[in-house]
Structure 1
Amino acid sequence: MVDKKIGVLLVNLGSPAAPTVPAVRRFLKDFLWDKRVVNLPRPLWWLILHGFVLPFRPKKSLEAYKKIWDSNKGSPLTFLTRQLTEKVAEKLAPQGIMVDCAMSYGEPAIPTKLREFKEQGVSDLVVLPLYPQYSSTTSASVYDALIHELNTWWHLPNFRFISDYHQNARYISALATSIEAAWQERPKNDVLVMSFHGLPAMLTKKGDPYFHQCHQTGQLLAQKLGLKDSEWRLVFQSRFGKAEWLKPYCVDVLTQLPKEGVRSVDMICPGFAVDCLETLEEIAMENRHIFLEAGGNGYHYIRALNDSHANVDVILDVLTNGGFSDKQEAK
């Protein structure tokens, strides 16, 4: 009997290849053309995208990327995902399990990594999007790319797709421990604000569970930390366009809190496995300015789990419980 050869693919969103306008434009064109991301009639959206978005937004986005870009390593999302993947791979290598990473947009591309697994004789494929909460705009987009590539193969591998891990106990504990560690380093602020990436509100009505999963994660985390309702808030960030998105909006809450007597906040983004433009620039920098301008006097961003040992353990636990067979588990 031939032994199984397992390949694990960790997938994240992606980043521009370089901090330049052309690279950012290519990335945004790829990202925003995905029907899962913007679900408008293609002819209409093509006109909007090419007439009103791509001529202007890349330059603005570039200025944000420059603030967080590492001159040696590049985009934080890219190198942190790679470093996390390498550490998970090191843990699983003794069992002969191969681990690699890919991006939904940009490089390394999902089809490229799947073909590499195929060439290496992988018989069983486990795909884990690095999004703790499932969304049709992120996790489902990974699934689309997976199926699109596999539909061209004559010999399909066995595969498992792990759609989310928003209630995973080790994930919740790791987040709580990181927050408690931050409170040990500096005084705890008045309120803990949990900020998740926003989505159009209409997606929830269509059956997307993201909104509910974010709230489940928030409740579990607050319970783990022993927080009272008055000691934490859950918000949604990164609104794009004029349509109604998931509420409450992060910026609105940060503007309102000082008026309610909240002078300091700790910010965390539980929906991001690793830090990226949204967390390091929008939350840690831009929204800090908004809160202080509104009257706050203390603002601290608690970084994502990134490539920490705790996050490696989270990924291994998710893979063990959702991806591997009982006879070949991660240890």
Structure 2
Amino acid sequence: MKDTPGHGRLAHAPADHPAVKPAKVGVLIANLGTPDNYDYWSMRRYLNEFLSDERVIDLPRWKWQPLLQLIILTKRPFSSGKNYKSIWNHDRGESPLMTITKDQTAALVARMEAAFGDSVMVDFCMRYGNPSTESVVEKMVKAGCEKILFFPLYPQYAGATTATANDQFFRALMKQPWQPAARTVPAYFDNPLYIEALAQSVETAYAGLEVKPDLLIASYHGMPKRYLMQGDPYHCQCQKTTRMLRERLGWGADSIHTTFQSVFGREEWLKPYTVEHVAELAKKGVKRIAVMAPAFSADCIETLEEIQGEIREAFEHAGGESFTYIPCLNDDALHMDVLAHIATENLRGWLD
């Protein structure tokens, strides 16, 4: 193939043959998503896409959709929009999750270019909202990516996170006339490098405190307990992440508590619920706690508003005195080294 900048022509092809891009390998990182803005209609579009996902809400559509469209989506965009407004990155006109994901992508681009030159294209997409998975897959294919590594940024696997992101990736591939080869990155909840990054974030946070917290709370995003009973491994993987973190820190058996947040609806979810657990701790005399969110690769509405708002208030209202939030790993250099390492391991056989 004779290459010109960004284009190529097959040596024996007729003159009117479509241009062929130089072959590349794509690395596509994916996060949950974000509304385009915090106004009513932006929030409604985002929530409608999110809450219509049958991996997230698995009720029969005939039962769920009337409730969603006629009741929930007439009210919830206002309250959710208010919450988003309180954490919005007004300077850049986007949510913190979008800002951080862009920064993560830039950091990963630099690492992959250093290792593989221009043979790898790195980009990001969102499961809900923009940029959509379909649009970025289309962009990568047009850029010449004949192989794509899809990397959901969820350390622990769950049907409502990892699986639905993969579903959307596969749906996007179905629309490609020339479908690229594809791989997906599995959960990395017990990867030693990921555990090390978590541990160092705790040690850094504690080093800046005058008095060490009495307990560390590892608050993971919740899910209905029913999903666990149906075979979803999320709960077990969260427990293992906490155990490995505690062992790496060299702490005692009851020094870190695993809890679950963001409960929605009336059915029982994974317990203990973070907001209730921290209040109970305060009532029992625990005055100082730290909270981290190991299931989130980037700070978002669930950490910046829920943990630092509702959960902090529950602890302090019940008598707690010192509440420390340990940020997600975000675009921390060690975290980005971890993600680059995981991506590289999953590219074996595609790239030397």
**Shared fold (TM-score, shorter chain, > 0.5):** yes
Structure 1 position 227 matched with structure 2 position 251: yes
In the alignment, is the contact (CA less than 8 A) between 2:276 and 2:314 conserved in 1?
A: no
Q: Counterpart of 2:97?
A: 77
Query: 1:254 is matched with which residue: 253, 278, 281?
Result: 278
Structure 1 position 139 matched with structure 2 position 162: yes
Query: 1:118 is matched with which residue: 101, 117, 141?
Result: 141
Deviation at 1:261, TM superposition (A): 2.3
- 1: distance between equivalents of 2:156 and 2:216? 19
- 2: distance between equivalents of 1:132 and 1:272? 8
What secondary structure is seen at the aligned counterpart in 1 of 2:159?
coil
Query: 1:204 is matched with which residue: 216, 228, 248?
Result: 228
Q: Which has the higher contact order (CA 8 A, sep 6+)?
A: 1
What secondary structure is seen at the aligned counterpart in 1 of 2:122?
strand
Q: Counterpart of 1:165?
A: 188
The one-letter code matched in structure 1 to 2:77 is P
- 2: distance between equivalents of 1:228 and 1:320? 35
Deviations 1:2-27 (A, max 9, x none): 98621000000111101211111110
Deviation at 1:155, TM superposition (A): 2.3
Which TM-score applies when normalising by structure 2?
Answer: 0.90
- Name whichever of 270-279 and 50-59 sits farther off: 50-59
Structure 2, gaps ≥5 residues long: 2-20
- 2: distance between equivalents of 1:291 and 1:195? 14
- 1: distance between equivalents of 2:45 and 2:179? 31
Deviations 1:181-239 (A, max 9, x none): 01111132000000000001111111111011100111101111111122110000000
- Name whichever of 266-275 and 304-313 sits farther off: 304-313
Q: Go from structure 1 to structure 2 and tell me whether the alpha carbon gap of 1:307 and 1:216 turns closer, same or farther (over 3 Å shift).
A: same
Q: Counterpart of 1:56?
A: 75
- 1: distance between equivalents of 2:275 and 2:309? 12
In the alignment, is the contact (CA less than 8 A) between 2:260 and 2:271 conserved in 1?
A: yes
The one-letter code matched in structure 2 to 1:183 is Y
- 1: distance between equivalents of 2:301 and 2:140? 30
Structure 1, gaps ≥5 residues long: none
What secondary structure is seen at the aligned counterpart in 2 of 1:230?
coil
Q: Counterpart of 2:202?
A: 179
The one-letter code matched in structure 2 to 1:93 is E
Deviation at 1:51, TM superposition (A): 1.9
Equivalent pairs counted in the alignment come to 328
- Name whichever of 234-243 and 147-156 sits farther off: 147-156
Deviation at 1:135, TM superposition (A): 0.6
In the alignment, is the contact (CA less than 8 A) between 2:152 and 2:185 conserved in 1?
A: yes
Deviations 1:133-156 (A, max 9, x none): 111001111111111121222322
- 2: distance between equivalents of 1:327 and 1:245? 41
Structure 1 position 213 matched with structure 2 position 237: yes
Structure 1 position 328 matched with structure 2 position 351: yes
Q: Which structure has the greater CA radius of gyration?
A: 2
Q: Counterpart of 1:302?
A: 326
Q: Counterpart of 1:18?
A: 37
What secondary structure is seen at the aligned counterpart in 2 of 1:153?
coil
- 1: distance between equivalents of 2:250 and 2:259? 19
Q: Counterpart of 2:151?
A: 128
What secondary structure is seen at the aligned counterpart in 2 of 1:196?
strand
- Name whichever of 158-167 and 194-203 sits farther off: 158-167
Q: CA RMSD in A?
A: 1.5
- 2: distance between equivalents of 1:252 and 1:182? 24
Q: Counterpart of 1:34?
A: 53
